[in-house]
Amino acid sequence: MQRTTDGWGSGLLGVIIFSGSLPATRVAVGSFAPLFLTSARAVVAALIGAALLGLLRQARPKRSDLTSLLIVALGVVVGFPLLTALALRHITSAHSIVFIGLLPLATAIFGVLRGGERPKPAFWLFSGVGSLLVAGFALSQSGGASLAGDLLMIAAIVVCGLGYAEGAALSRRLGGWQVICWALVLALPAMAALALATLPDDWSGITAPAWAGLAYVSVFSMLIGFVFWYRGLALGGIAGVGQLQLLQPFFGLALAGLLLGEPVAWTMILVTGLVVFCVAGAKRFA
């Protein structure tokens, strides 16, 4: 019981950290090209991760773990950041939340396929209803739809769900923070080469908010968030804890209300309550 509770607590911290990822990416791509942003954030996070692995003298992963680490790297280090950065050039961060609402369901499906989990039938009902609530609410609050942006976000959700599930399964053997650090190190040579090849021609036009966005997605979205997220998935279960992502859009909107003074509609409070109910139901039957 304590293990499961710890897992849900860690997962919740990861979701709170991830809630700022898409807005930060949206700001950053205003000054940085998507390819440079994707590679630069991975390089910064990889250097920090490599330092942690070295300072704490972590053993190298086994050769049998390399395939799983490669899947994690392709899914969450390269695939999701790149695809969302490309998508956010066509759609708003608010519209992208429509697709983030489908991520818990994708994670649960890959948790079954890659993690060997078997949630009860009622779990899928709560997960599906929760996903529809988030997607429906986000769709009603957003605009600027684009077919190219939507297709890129769908692809991002698929590769991210796979990377989450694969990393969570591997975390049971290697540990949560070790998995993301080793995945970052594995991707470092390619990401460093890409960063050098896509360096901005003119640095003077890069705004302070863009630098702040790059810093956030590099340190928090790419590394610290995963430390808590993978630990949560490994301890609490991929399918169950993955449903906490349903709350991510509402954390983002709540932060906007608290920090930026943006109004919070009564519909948001209502939908949030319904989503919390769905998350609780999914936890009960996961």
pLDDT in tens, 29-48: 889 998 899 899 999 999 99
> 116-137 burial, b if ≥16 CB within 10 A, otherwise e?
ebebeeebbebbbbbbebbbeb
pLDDT at site 264:
57
Q: What is the pLDDT of residues 90-145, one digit of tens each?
A: 877 666 766 777 788 888 888 787 767 777 788 778 777 877 877 777 667 655 56
DSSP one-letter code for 265: -
Q: Are 29 and 89 in contact (CB under 8 A)?
A: yes
Q: What is the pLDDT of residues 71-85, one digit of tens each?
A: 999 999 999 888 988
Q: Taking all residues of the chain, what is their mean pLDDT, rounded to a whole number?
A: 83
pLDDT at site 40:
95
261 — pLDDT class (breaks 50, 70, 90): low
Q: What is the pLDDT of residues 207-253, one digit of tens each?
A: 998 999 999 999 999 999 988 988 888 888 877 787 887 787 777 66
Q: What tokens were used for 97?
A: 């939340």
How far apart are alpha carbons 86 and 109 in whole angstroms? Answer: 25
Kindly provide the residue ranges of all beta strands, DSSP E only, lying in the chain, ordered along the sequence.
Answer: none
CB atoms within 10 A of CB 3: 9
167 — pLDDT class (breaks 50, 70, 90): confident
pLDDT at site 194:
93
How far apart, in Å, are the Cα atoms of 274 and each of 61, 243, 247?
Answer: 42, 13, 11
